[in-house]
Amino acid sequence: MSKRIGFVGVGRMGANMARRLHDLKYPVTVVYDINQKVAEEVAKEIGAEATTKLARVTELSDVIFTVVSDDAAMYKIFAKNGDSLLIGAKGKIFINTATISPKTHIEVGKLCEEVGAEAIEACMASSIPQARSGTLYFMLGGKKQVVDEVEPILKDMSSSMRYCGELGSAAKVKALVNMVMNINTAALAEGLGLAKALNLDLNMIREVFSQTGANSRVLQTDGEDMQNREHSCFFSAEHALKDSGIALNLAKETGLNLPLAQATYNQYQRLVKKGFGQYDKSAISELTFPDRHGLDKD
């Protein structure tokens, strides 16, 4: 018998993950979101129950995916008191996908163990289209036997996955992934912005970049969008800021100085302050093009 699956957080990513599993005939039984209207819409689409109670998600599920925004949200859904996923959680498995601090993943894992439940990390690379098509890349952390138990589900949601080690390991790897991605994004924005200021043809520049050491995955995903000011959100500037901060905190804990990561964090902080937080991370180019905010002195 297939394990019953619940979702906490059915925004852009969570909803498409739930749709994918529903398409594959997994019993997605219940969904929860702080935006009740969103939960109800997704639930109606996939034939699940929309609940306003976290404990109800645990009750109706054997495996629960959590797709939340930050550390505070994670602690809230796994609260020791009041409505919580921990109520009646004995024997349940939580698959926590959020990009949050390793410390939080470890502490949530301990909370789950205290009530007889298990928690693993399934940190995600890729974005909304990959969630829908089942081609995500998972970085996994936690007890290997628990990871193995839910591996068939994760395989149906991904094109590839990598086990990183004990709980907290995947979050560290994901912090590095997003740190480097954000640095690359900021660097590309500066390169294209300077090309624009030099009156160079941006189509030509992107083609040259693609054939040289300036090539990157970010050039493929964001280069044209930066040029055309197309910043429909797949990975928000706010999340880029948060994730750069996670990496910088890890660097601080080790005593390491990372000036490029710090400069990138500062740029995304400026971008969010200018009101672009809900735009895609590619909107960092708004700070580097001379005909946008590239000449601002703030």
What pLDDT, on a 0 to 100 scale, did the predictor assign at position 262?
98
Q: Which fold, 5-165?
A: Rossmann fold (3.40.50)
Task: Give the confidence band of 126 by pLDDT, cuts at 50, 70, 90.
Answer: confident
Q: Which CATH architecture has domain 172-287?
A: Orthogonal Bundle (1.10)
Radius of gyration of the chain (CA): 20
Q: What is the pLDDT of residues 266-291, one digit of tens each?
A: 999 999 999 999 999 999 999 999 99
- Asked whether the predicted pLDDT for residue 297 surpasses 90, the reply is no
Burial call 52-74: b when 16+ CB within 10 Å, e when fewer: eebbbbbbbbbbbbbbbbbbebb
Full-prediction pTM beyond 0.85? yes
Where, residue-wise, is CATH 3.40.50.720 in the chain?
Answer: 5-165
Q: What is the pLDDT of residues 99-110, one digit of tens each?
A: 999 999 999 999
The mean pLDDT value for 182-203 works out to 98
Q: Which of these, 234, 106, 229, lies nearest to 181 by C-alpha position? A: 234
The mean pLDDT value for 7-12 works out to 96
Helix (H, G, I), strand (E, B) or coil at 90: coil
Q: Which helix (H) or strand (E) holds 239?
A: helix 237-254
Per the listing, tokens 């480097």 go with 180
Q: Which residues are catalytic?
A: 174
Under a CB-based contact definition with an 8 Å cutoff, are residues 16 and 45 in contact?
no
Q: What is the pLDDT of residues 58-84, one digit of tens each?
A: 999 999 999 999 999 999 999 999 999
What pLDDT, on a 0 to 100 scale, did the predictor assign at position 295?
80
What percentage of the chain reaches a pLDDT higher than 90? 95
What pLDDT, on a 0 to 100 scale, did the predictor assign at position 140?
98
Where, residue-wise, is CATH 1.10.1040.10 in the chain?
Answer: 172-287
- Asked whether the predicted pLDDT for residue 127 surpasses 90, the reply is no
Helix (H, G, I), strand (E, B) or coil at 93: strand
Q: Identify the DSSP state of 69.
A: S
